[in-house]
Structure 1
Amino acid sequence: MGTVFKRCNHSSDEWSRCQHPYVIRYRSLSGRQTEQGGFRTQTKAVSRLSEIHAAKSQASSSSGFRQERADRYGRMTFKEYAEQWRLGQRHLAPSSARHLDSLLKHHIFPVLGSRRMNSFDHRVVDDFIRTLEVADTGLATQSNAFDKLSAVLTDAQRLGIYDFNPTDGVKPPQYTPGRATIPTVEQLRNIRQIGDDRLRLICDLMSGCGMRNSEAVAVNIDNIVADNVYRITEQVNQATKDYDRLKHRKSGEYREVPLPPRIRQSIEQYAAEHGSIDGYLLRDPRDSSRPFQPYLLQNQWQRLKRANRAAIPDGMVLYSLRHFFASRCLQLRIPITDVADWMGHKSLDMTFRIYRHLMPGSIKSAAESLDFALVA
C-alpha cells in the first residue's frame, strides 16, 4: 500500500516523541513513486495513505470496466453498432428517421458496414468521403452522410472506444445550397390566375406568410390569432399522411408569422365559399375525413407547369413561392433573425446561406450613416 516514515536521524522507536513530521510514500496510478509530507501524527499519515489506496482501487476498477466495455463494443462492426445507436434516435420525426435510414442503407453501410469499430481513425473517415466523391454522390448527400457518421463515432467516443474522435482533422464536405429561384410579382400574379381556388389559397399562404407547402395544406381559420398574426401549429406529415408537429419543433410548439390583410381576406373568403371542417379549410378531395395531402398539390403544380410554361418558367418550383416571402422581407430591411424565425429554419445560418445575396448592401448605407453622424 505504501510506507510511512520520517526524514530525521531519530530511530523509529523515537518517532512518537519526535517533533519532525511524518512522510508517506506510494505509487500513483501511472506507477510513479510519489511522496507527501507534513503529517503531525502517524495516525493521520496512515489515514491519508488508506484514502489514496481506496481511490486507486476505485479508479483501477473503473478503468477496468471502461476497458472491458471498449473492447466489447470495439469488436463490433460499424453496422452492428450503428443499428444499436439507431434504436436510441426516438426523438426523430418520421421523415427524418426515414432519411437517416436511407443514408445508412445506401451510402454508409455499403462502404463502412463491415469495418470494426476499433479500427476507425481520421484516414478511414477521409477515405469514406473520397469514396462518395468518386461515386459522384451529390454534395448535399455527402454532407448529410458525414454528419450521421460523425454522430455515430462521437457516441462511440463517449462510450470509451476512442480516446479521440476519428473525425478530428477531417475536412467535411462543403455543401452550399444553390440560390433560390424567386418569382417576380408578375409571375406570382400569373400563377394565381391559372390555378384553382385551392392553389390560389396555398399560393397566398406560402408567398404571403412564408409557410412550407406541408404547413399551408394544414391551414386552419381558427389559427388567425390577431388581425395581422397567423399561428402555425402543425403540418401534414408526408410519411404518416396525418397532422403532425412542425419541422424542428416539439409537439405543441408553434410559430407566429405576419398575416397581411390580403392574405387574411383570402383565408376568410375561401372559408366562406367552401366551408371548413374543425376549422381546416383543405381536406382530401376523395375523403373529407382525411387531411389534404401535399403530394396532391405537387401533382397539380406539375400539371400546371406543363400546360403553362410561360407562366411557370423552368427552374421554378412550388417552394419558390415561400422564397418570395423571404426575399420581400429582406428587401424591406426586416432583420434576418425575424425572417429566420418566421420561416421556421433550424438555425440562422441556414437562412443566411440561402438568402444572403438578397440582403441589401450594408457597406454603402453604413458609410452614408456614419458620414451623416460625423458631420452632425
Structure 2
Amino acid sequence: MFANVSTVFTAAVDDELIPKNPCKAPSVRKPRSDPKKLVPWTSKRVLAVRDALPDRYQIVVWLGAGLVLRQGEIFGLSPDDIDFDASEVHVRRQVKLFSSNRQVFGLPKGRKTRKVPLPDAVADAITAYMTAHPPVEVTRPWMTIDGKPTTVSLLLTTREKGAMNCNYFNTYLWRPALERAGVPDLRENGCHALRHFFASTALHEGETIKAVSEYLGHADPGFTLRTYTHLMEGSSERTRRAIDTAFLGEDEEGDE
C-alpha cells in the first residue's frame, strides 16, 4: 500500500501538482511488511512432483530435496564432486544463464563453495541414475561469456548432451510436473521449494541453524534463522523435556 501511495505522489510531482513526494521525506518511515511465513512442502508432495517429471529429470528432486542444491547447482553438479566414501558432496559450481541465453559455468551464489552431507538414499539414486544416464562432458566459459572454456563432466544434461537451460526446464518440465501432481503453479512452488523441504526436515530432526545455514550456502546464519524460525516452534517442548529429564535423572540418582 505504501508503495502505491508513493507512486501516486511521484506522478503528482511529475505533473507539477505538488513540489515533493511526502513519502520520501526524512521524517517518514516506510512501514515494514510482515514477511510471509514459509510453508514447506510435505514429503508426499515432493515425491508426487518427482514422479510427475520425466524419468530423465527426476534426479532434480533428489538433488534439490536431498542435497539442498540450488537449481543452477543441480545443473552444474559433476560426479567428480561426489565423494561416496566420505558421504559428502562438494558444491563447486553452477550453470548460469545470461540474458543472451548463453550459458557459463560459475561459482555458486555468493562465490562460496561448500560441502553437504550425502544421505544413503540420495547416493543410491545418483548411482542408479548414472547407470541409466551416463555423465556427459560439457564445455562452457567460466564466469563470463568470454571466460576461459572449461570442460566439466555433468551428471544431468539435456537429451542433446548439453547443460540444462533453466528457462526450458521451468517452462516445459517443472510446470507441467506441478500440474500433473496437482500443485499450484505459484512462485513459491519453484525448484527452491525443494531446498525449503530439506531445511524444514533437518530442523525438525534437531539439526542446528548454523549447520543448516552452511548446507544452504547462506552467508548469514541470521538470515536462515529469520526464514525458518517459525518451523522451530516445538523447541520449547524439547527444552522442557530436556530439563525434566535432567531433574528426574538427578532424583533417581539420589534415591540409589
Common fold, TM-score beyond 0.5? yes
Quote the Cα distance in structure 2 between the aligned partners of 1:374 and 1:281. Answer: 52
- Residue type at the aligned position of 1:237: K
Distance 1:255-1:133 versus aligned 2 partners, 3 A rule: farther
- Asked whether the 8 Å contact 1:181–1:320 carries over to 2, the reply is no
Aligned: 1:218 with 2:76: yes
Distance 1:305-1:367 versus aligned 2 partners, 3 A rule: closer
Distance 1:374-1:266 versus aligned 2 partners, 3 A rule: closer
Shift of 1:181: 3.6
Shift of 1:175: 5.1
Aligned: 1:255 with 2:114: yes
Aligned counterparts, 1:162-311, within 5 A: 171=29, 174=32, 177-227=35-85, 228-239=87-98, 241-249=103-111, 253-278=112-137, 279-286=153-160, 288=161, 290-299=162-171, 300-306=173-179, 308=180, 310=182
Quote the Cα distance in structure 2 between the aligned partners of 1:181 and 1:372. Answer: 32
CA deviations on 1:59-99 (whole Å, 9 max, x unpaired) are xxxxxxxxxxxxxxxxxxxxxxxxxxxxxxxxxxxxxxxxx
Shift of 1:212: 0.8
Q: Which runs of 5+ in 2 are unaligned?
A: 9-24, 138-152, 251-256
Shift of 1:205: 0.3
Secondary structure, aligned partner of 2:61: helix
Distance 1:133-1:212 versus aligned 2 partners, 3 A rule: farther
- Residue type at the aligned position of 1:248: G
Match of 1:322 among 186, 195, 198: 195
CA deviations on 1:257-281 (whole Å, 9 max, x unpaired) are 0111111121122211111124312
Larger radius of gyration: 1
- Asked whether the 8 Å contact 2:64–2:191 carries over to 1, the reply is no
Aligned counterparts, 1:1-376, within 5 A: 134-135=6-7, 171=29, 174=32, 177-227=35-85, 228-239=87-98, 241-249=103-111, 253-278=112-137, 279-286=153-160, 288=161, 290-299=162-171, 300-306=173-179, 308=180, 310=182, 312-313=183-184, 315=186, 316-374=189-247, 376=250
- Residue type at the aligned position of 1:345: H
- Residue type at the aligned position of 1:188: V
Shift of 1:206: 0.4
Quote the Cα distance in structure 1 between the aligned partners of 2:197 and 2:56. Answer: 19
**Alignment length (residue pairs):** 212
Quote the Cα distance in structure 1 between the aligned partners of 2:216 and 2:198. Answer: 9
TM-score by length of 1: 0.51
Q: 4+ runs of 1 displaced by more than 4 Å? A: 130-133, 167-173
Shift of 1:229: 0.4
Shift of 1:319: 1.8
Aligned to 1:62: none
- Asked whether the 8 Å contact 1:204–1:263 carries over to 2, the reply is yes
Superposition RMSD on alpha carbons, in Å?
2.8
CA deviations on 1:26-72 (whole Å, 9 max, x unpaired) are xxxxxxxxxxxxxxxxxxxxxxxxxxxxxxxxxxxxxxxxxxxxxxx
TM-score by length of 2: 0.72
Q: Which runs of 5+ in 1 are unaligned?
A: 1-129, 137-166
